[in-house]
Amino acid sequence: MLRALRSMLFYASFTLWTLIWALLLLPFPLLPQSWRYWGCGTWARVASYLFSWSIGVRYRVQGLENIPAGPCVILSNHQSSLETLLLWRYFPRLSFVLKAELLRFPIIGWYLPLGQPIAINRQAGRQALKQVLEEGEKRLRAGIPVLIFPEGTRQGCGELGAFHQTGVALAQRAGVPITPLALNSGCFWSRHDWRMRSGELHLHFGPADNGEGRSNQVTDRLREWIAAEIRQMPAHDD
C-alpha cells in the first residue's frame, strides 16, 4: 500500500511540475541554445528531486572525477526512464540518442528537441547508424557530450543486455574518450510495474577509455566494467 501511495504522489507531483514548466518553456524555442539546455536541465533536475522525495530514493554517485572536462561519449546501461532525469543533474549540456517515437509523446516529447537529441528510427538499420555517427560527431565537435545506451532498450534490475558498437565507433570517429556509466535505476522504477520502490540508487562513472583497439574489443571491455559494477549494486529496500 505504501509503495502505491508513494508512486501516486510522485506521478501527481511530476505531472503538475511538467505542466507548469511546459507553460514557462513556451518562448524557449526562440531563445539561444544555452537557454534551451538550461530549460531542459531544470525540468529534469527538479523532477529527479521529486522522485527522491516522494519515493524515498537516495542517490549515491561515484566517479564524477572520471568525467572528462571536454566532450565525450557516455556509454550507459539502460534500465529506466529515470536516467533521462538523473543525468541532467551532472551535465549542463547533454545530447541523448533516443528513439524517434518519444518525440510524439504528449508534452515531454514536444519539448525534447530543445535538448538537441539524436532521434533515430530503430528500424532504419544502417541509416540509423549513419545518423548517429554524423549527428553525434557534430554534437561532440560543438563540445556537447553524447549519451548512448548500447543495449538499445531497457533491461530489468540487475540485468545487462548485449551491447552494439555504435557508441565506441562514434567516439573513435570523433577522437573523444568514452566514459562508462553503470546504474541500477530499474530496481526502483521498472518498466513492468507502475509502483516504484525506495532504496539507494547508484550511478558509477568509470575511468575514461581512450578507445584504442578494434571497436568490438573496446565495447567488450566497457561492458565488462559495467557488468562488474552492476553486480555490486544493491537492490531496492522494500
Q: How many domains does the chain have?
A: 1
Q: Is residue 238 part of a domain?
A: no
Q: What percent of the chain has pLDDT over 70?
A: 99
**Exposed e or buried b per residue across 115-126, where buried means at least 16 C-beta atoms within 10 angstroms of its C-beta:** bbbbbbeeeeee
Domain carrying residue 197: 2-232
Q: Is residue 118 part of a domain?
A: yes
| Residue pointed to by grid coordinates 511546459 | 22
Q: Is residue 129 part of a domain?
A: yes
Helix (H, G, I), strand (E, B) or coil at 58: strand
Q: Is residue 68 part of a domain?
A: yes
What pLDDT is attached to residue 2?
A: 86
For the chain, the 3-state helix, strand and coil shares in percent, each to the nearest 5, are 50, 15, 35
Beta strands in 28-187 (DSSP E): 57-62, 73-76, 95-99, 118-120, 146-148, 178-183
Name 120's bridge partners.
99
Q: Is residue 211 part of a domain?
A: yes
Q: Is the confidence at residue 208, as pLDDT, over 70?
A: yes
Question: CATH number for the domain including 150?
Answer: 3.40.1130
Q: Is residue 237 part of a domain?
A: no
**Tens digit of each residue's pLDDT (9 = 90 or more) over 75-110:** 999 999 899 889 988 898 999 999 888 888 888 888
Q: Is residue 124 part of a domain?
A: yes
- C-alpha span between 112 and 37 (Å, rounded): 10
Q: Is 42 exposed, middle or buried (0-12, 13-18, 19+ CB in 10 A)?
A: middle
**Tens digit of each residue's pLDDT (9 = 90 or more) over 124-145:** 778 988 999 999 999 999 999 9
What pLDDT is attached to residue 238?
A: 61
**Tens digit of each residue's pLDDT (9 = 90 or more) over 166-192:** 999 999 999 999 999 999 999 999 888
This prediction's pTM: 0.92
Q: Is residue 140 part of a domain?
A: yes
Helix (H, G, I), strand (E, B) or coil at 196: coil
How large is the C-alpha radius of gyration of the chain?
Answer: 17
